[in-house]
Structure 1
Amino acid sequence: MMEKQPVQSMPIQNTETQVPKTQQMNDRDYLNDVLLTEKYLGTSYVHALQEASHQALYQDIKSVFDATCDHQRDLFNLMFNKGWYKFESQDPQKIQQTQQQFAQYAQQQFPK
């Protein structure tokens, strides 16, 4: 019987947009800085939502949180499209195995 060879991970990325490599910030640096700020704001809004003591305040924070998440996603997509983010494809069997491990853990920790 022939053994199935593991799928070799392949990079998933777009062609990288070149930027000058100088001591000054370039477009990639600025976008990365804004993306990190949006991520930090999103985390902070989650804490504020969890502690909001009034429904109207909760709704105001929630709308700002939603907009922040949308901005974060837009920035990520822009950076991915410019080739400044890349991923590695994974073996579908490995993904399924990891998913099963977490499902088993959840069933053990949180029985119905």
Structure 2
Amino acid sequence: MPENQKIQNPQTPVPTTQEMNDRDHVTDLLATEKYMTASYSTALNEMSNQSLYETVARIFKETQDSQRNLYNLMFQHGWYSLEQAPQQKVEQAYQQFSKTRQELPYS
């Protein structure tokens, strides 16, 4: 596959009107779920009560799963695309990760 090629399914058409269409609604939901998972993550990092931590961790997992399902839905409908990274960039990222990992005291 050539470098920088988009990876995308054919787009499901949506009306182009002033009204929100299905793509607009799913995009809004996805943004909300991403915001919520980031907020739950911060809360979990700062939580001291174990029972509350476990409850919020369960809600976080459900929210993260919802975010992933929305992403998959958008990708399936061609409303979300990816670009294939050049092999050189993948190798550089791997080397940087490996170097950083070796510098950690518990590795």
TM category, shorter: 0.7 to 0.9
What percent of counterpart residues are identical?
48
Q: Which runs of 5+ in 2 are unaligned?
A: none
1:71-82 to 2 correspondences below 5 Å:
71-82=66-77
Give the letter aligned to residue 74 of structure 2.
Answer: M
Say which of 29, 53, 62 aligns to 1:58.
53
Which one-letter code corresponds to 1:66 in the other structure?
A: K
CA offset digits 1:68-111 (Å, max 9, x no partner):
00000000000000000111112223311232134335545x46
Q: Select which of 25, 38, 50 maps to 2:20.
A: 25
Paired residue type of 1:15: P
TM-superposition CA deviations, 1:32-68 (whole Å, max 9, x none): 0001000111011111111222100000000000000
Measure how far apart 1:17 and its partner are: 0.5
Distance 1:50 1:105 in 2: 22
Relative to 1, partners in 2 of residues 1:45 and 1:93: Cα closer, same or farther, differing over 3 Å? same
Return structure 1 stretches of 4+ with deviation > 6 angstroms: none
Matched, 1:41 2:12: no
The number of residues matched between the two structures is 105
- Tell me the TM-score normalized by structure 2: 0.87
- Match of 1:25, SS state, is coil
User: What is aligned with 1:91?
Assistant: 86
Structure 1: runs of 5+ lacking an equivalent: 1-6
What value does the CA root-mean-square deviation take over the aligned residues? Answer: 1.7
Which letter does structure 1 place at the counterpart of 2:82? F
C-alpha displacement at 1:15, in angstroms?
0.3
CA distance in 1, matches of 2:98, 2:89: 14
